[in-house]
Each structure stands twice: as C-alpha cells, then as structure tokens.
Chain A
C-alpha cells in the first residue's frame, strides 16, 4: 500500500490524516471485488501494526456505510444530481423506444415483431403496455422467470420488474410495482443480488426473500438466508422469517413473521390473520379481475381470519358475504358492490 520505508511522520495531526487515508484505501480495495489472498495478509499486518489503525479503520468503515444511504438521499433532494445520474443509467427501455421510433414509418406490428427479435426478454411479454418493465404480470397472473443461472424470480399478480445490468451481467432488478419472490442459489464468491424498490434497496447473496411494493410502501421479508435492506434512514439486517417495511422517508424496525403468512401466495393461497375486511377486499382486488367495493362502513373494520384459494376468489367473496351478512350486487364493468 505505502512504501514501508517512508519515515514515520512526527506531526500527530499529519499522522492521523495518513492513517485515515490508508484506512479508506483499504476500504476501496476490500470493496473492489478483486481481493487477493496477499491483500488479506497485507491488510492484517497493517491492522496489527498499531491499535490506532484498527480504531481508525473501524470508524472509516462506519462512515463508508453512510455513503450509500447518503447517495440515495442526495439523488432525492438534488435535481441536478438525479438528472446526471439518470443520464448515465443503462436503459434497455430507451433503446427499445429508439428502435420503435426508427420503425415508426413501417407498420406498427412490424415494429413490435422486431422488438421481440432485438430484445429476447421483451418477447416473453409482448403486451404493448409492457414498455415500462422487462417482465410484468396481469391481474391474477403469476410468472416464474429464470433471471440468471442462480436467480429465480416469481412475480405475483400486477407486478412489473426491470432487470439491472452492468456490462451485460445482471446485478439485480427494479421492482416498479407489485410483489416478487427471489430465490438465490448460493455460489461461492457470488456478488450480492439487489432489488431496488422505492427509496430502498435489498441485497442478498443467497437464500429466498420477497419484496412487496404497494401504495408507496415497501415490505421486505426474508424467508431463508439473510437480506440487507439499505435505506436513506438506515439499514436493516434480516434473517429468516424477519420483515421490515419502509416508505420514502422512514424504515421500520425488524419484525418476526408467522409461518402461516409466509409466502402463502406462492402456494396459490391468501392467508389472513385478524385482518380488517376492507384490507382483505383490497388484497382480493389485486388478484381478481373486476373490482369489489365495500359500501358498508360498519363492516370495514370487522376482522377476518382464514385462507382462500387465489384460483377461486369468487367463492371467497361468497363466503365473506355470508359470514358478515352482506348483500352483493353485480354491476356492469366487473364491479361488485357489497353492502
């Protein structure tokens, strides 16, 4: 790192600066993705050479950890910074649009067919409305995608994700809306896989986790392994069956999740424990075509415990209607009014 023959510095302030610079140089190396066994040896020697080295390194490490959330923060508060950042994002979506623009003179259908050829991932979801994401699901649909050799993604209903790549290598996804489950097979030395949703980012190297992004709230649940959730307001480390919720400005503490509620949707079920009827209907609306509206104020906060099959949600509605003694009217346009 530095020439060991350099004479020791006499000025204590200068020496402190030097140690601080060295600590940050070590941090840069340790985060470089190419740390060699001999680096490890040199780092251990450097740490052991003086108690000040270890103390300064520890402080620098904590400060390093702030720079991720601070970077996210400055992108939110500084429009110039955000614009600069956006200009330098690799955007497969823009490339697709550019191609469509070039093909504008030709028949629209020819343009769409061409997209599927140029962007194989787009071909999986050829819906014209799908430009906002690489993969998306319609109401009531679930979709499994092998994103990379080691990352399997399951999209729940009404979900859009966009792949993030660096030099052609997939490093994660943006969850634009909805809910998705991520299965990561472990690979030694694999880089963490990141899911960006709203203001935060979830990182994992192996295991299984789910991210749900609805109504400007993001809920991250770790099912197996470990997930690190980074947010401008702080970071959370999740272990199996732990969950945290964040929005644009705050992040909750870590909570435990019951086994029954854990990723029931992947088994085709909706499970509720003491949930308000209005919340239950909101959830059913996400999965079911048409829309159910509750016009009975008193019934809104009645509590529901039970499980329903996603494949037969009309039956669930009938059960709820009888359990709470409600009237049901079907109106044109798929609207069902419970009162």
Chain B
C-alpha cells in the first residue's frame, strides 16, 4: 500500500463526506445504502489506504468507485439466494440461441475429456472431480482439500479455461 495515498484519501473523505454521500445516494437510489457503503469505505481506507498502489489523479472518483463496489457487496450479502428452479430457468434462457443441440456432440467427446483430465496436475483434477462429480461448492472444496478459496478459484478457472479451449479445438 502506498503510504502517501492514505492521507490524501482520508483528507478528501473528511472534507467531502456529505457531497460524496449525496452523489452515491443518487447513483444507488438508496440513501441508507450509500451511508453504509461510505462508512465502510472510510474504515477500509483508514485500515489499508487505497486498494492499489500508485498516485491517484482524482480521489473523488476513486472513492466513489470504491464505495459503489462496497455497496454492491453489501447488497449481495443482504439479498436472498435464488431457488434452484429459477437458476435452471436462467440456464435455459440461452436455448433460443441458434445452433444444433450440443449435448450429444459433447457426449461423444467424453473419452477425449477423460484423457485431458488424465494429464492434469493432481490437485487441479481433484478440484474438478469435487465440483463436477460430487457437486461441492468452491468453499466446500477448499475446506475438503485444506486449501484457500482463492486457490480453488484459481485451479478451477484454469481447469475450465484449458478444458473448454481443448474441447473447442478438438471439435474443429
């Protein structure tokens, strides 16, 4: 954390707190949420300074963006999880897209995909197995394997990027 950023941000925050709160309240269309988010922004800046190093040209814009992201996080935490039927309905939204039924085609790739998994590093492969065969969520995989959630996210993303690239390539 660049040490010189924090005082600049703290200074800007304390001098323009009310203006920032109004601006954020308009953007979010929710004054209470704006207040909570700006409060959390204050705490975060006070704790850590800016989240990325380097000089900040416009502290106002930087702080609003940061508060906006914090507001989205707060909203996320407070909102309900969608039930499975609604998630299924979302998945099926793409079904109106043109193109042949892909399921059968993908199935015929099964042996090829098994070979791809065969060559994968052991931990990455196990993450795939736990997510796809056992249906675990990523935090559950992290606890099961005793690794961080960040590592699980990293391994799964790399596995997916690799597998999907190979599957797209093999099809051609």
Contacts and interface: CB of A to CB of B under 8 A. Distances in A.
A203 B135 CA distance: 10
Secondary structure class of chain A's binding surface, majority of residues: helix
B126 interface: yes
A232 interface: yes
Contact of A35 (B82, B106, B145, B165): B82
A166 B144 contact: yes
A6 interface: no
B167 A30 contact: no
A80 B117 CA distance: 12
B128 A38 contact: no
B113 interface: yes
Given A31-B137, A57-B94, A166-B140, 16 more contacts: A20-B168, A32-B137, A36-B81, A37-B79, A39-B82, A51-B98, A58-B95, A63-B167, A67-B113, A67-B132, A68-B132, A73-B113, A81-B125, A88-B130, A171-B135, A192-B84
Contacts of B52: none
B113 A66 contact: yes
Interface string B158-172: 001101110110000
B76 interface: yes
Interface in A22-53: 24-25, 27-28, 30-40, 43-44, 47, 51
A189 interface: yes
B122 A30 contact: no
A78 B129 contact: no
Interface of B: 72, 75-76, 79-84, 86-87, 90-91, 93-99, 102-103, 105-107, 109-111, 113-114, 117-118, 122-123, 125-126, 128-138, 140, 143-145, 156-157, 160-161, 163-165, 167-168
A139 to B, nearest CB: 32
A326 interface: no
Given A38-B76, A81-B125, A166-B140, A54 B117 contact: no
Contact of A54 (B75, B97, B128): B97
A226 B120 CA distance: 34
B98 to A, nearest CB: 7
A324 to B, nearest CB: 46
B102 A59 contact: yes
Contacts of A201: 133
Nearest to B106: A62
Contacts of B80: 36-37
Contacts of B168: 20, 59
Contact of B128 (A17, A71, A232): A71
A71 B135 CA distance: 11
Contact of A61 (B79, B94, B118, B157): B94
A32 B163 CA distance: 19
A44 B145 contact: no
B84 A30 contact: no
A79 B129 CA distance: 14
Nearest to B156: A28
Nearest to B112: A70
10 residue pairs, one from A and one from B, having the closest CB atoms:
A54-B97, A62-B102, A71-B133, A189-B83, A70-B113, A67-B132, A62-B106, A74-B117, A73-B114, A71-B129
Contact of B79 (A38, A84, A191): A38
22 contacts: A20-B165, A28-B156, A34-B81, A36-B76, A47-B94, A55-B97, A55-B98, A57-B97, A58-B94, A62-B106, A64-B132, A66-B113, A70-B110, A71-B128, A71-B133, A81-B122, A81-B125, A85-B129, A166-B140, A188-B83, A189-B81, A205-B84
B99 A55 contact: yes
